[in-house]
Amino acid sequence: MRLSLGQREALWAYAFLALPLAFFLYFRILPAFQALWLSLYEWHADPALRKFVGLAHYARLLEDPLFRKALLNTFLYALLGVPAQLFLGLGLALLLQRAPVARDFFRAVYFAPYVTPAVAVAWVWSWMLSPHFGLVNELLGLLGIPPQPFLQSPRQALPTVTWVVVWQNLGFQVVLFLAGLESIPRQYYEAARIDGAEGWRLFRHITWPLLNPVLVFSAVIATIGYLQLFTQVVNLNFTDQGGPLNSTLTLALYIYQLAFLRFQLGYAAAVTAVLFAMILFITLIQLRVLTRRTE
């Protein structure tokens, strides 16, 4: 049987898709199901000694104060960080779009922290925020403001970590929004100006609606990042990870502590399953609410 050109092209397309699909299934989907299976057992290195406990780990979550604290902190990171990151990113992108010269230079400057390893960024900020010899407190002293504890304060630690994450990821948002702004045809603005629209009206009726796909993508990616926050929390306060008084503890860090410090892999898998379900649910809600549908 001789295949047509279209059939041969389709076969080659499926052949090239098969390898990445197999990679995705083996390294992404299979571990997810294994984690779900593991959450139903009391883990032991010897498979013969693993005990089936059903939903006992999930019932334990309801009575675990550390889980509730980590869950609350994770939501606070997202609620504080995502709007700040999107607002600042869009604002800077609008300013860069209007910059007559050196636009590429400023874009590179803002993007540099994003491509810098998060561990290095966290350690530098940890030194800068030191209450005793940090650069930030030295600058505050010049303004007559007393030294602040920042990462050593249960009240200031979480907003401080959030600020560092926003600062590092801001360049990514700037580049995304700037690309979205540049993709909007100039003819729309020219036609609106002929009709008398200026300033806020141009932004509200042209820029904002046409920027919706970029906004949805940015919001979803940023939210997932904050819900999975780990590296900055661990390294900003390395001697008291998740502290002080668990004020910066996240679900991702709590999973790490359960699995690799307490060796409670079954319970850690249950927390992982909850985190996965939470991210999936919030992502679907965001896609439903934020996406503009044209009639």
Confidence of residue 295 (pLDDT cuts 50, 70, 90): very low
pLDDT above 90 as % of the chain: 60
DSSP state of 146: P
Instruction: Kindly report the average pLDDT of the chain as a whole number.
Output: 90
Cβ contact 25:255 at 8 Å? no
- Domain 64-290: homologous superfamily in CATH: MetI-like (1.10.3720.10)
Rounded to two decimals, the pTM is 0.89
Which amino acid does the sequence have at 140? Answer: L
DSSP state of 263: -
d(CA 172, CA 110): 8
The predicted-structure confidence for 9-21, as pLDDT tens digits, reads as follows 888 888 889 988 8
63's CB contacts (< 8 A; 6+ apart) are none
DSSP assignments along 183-229, one per residue: HS-HHHHHHHHHTT--THHHIIIIIHHHTHHHHHHHHHHHHHHHHT-
Q: How far apart are the first and last CA of the chain?
A: 46
Domain ranges of the chain: 64-290
Q: State the pLDDT at residue 274.
A: 94
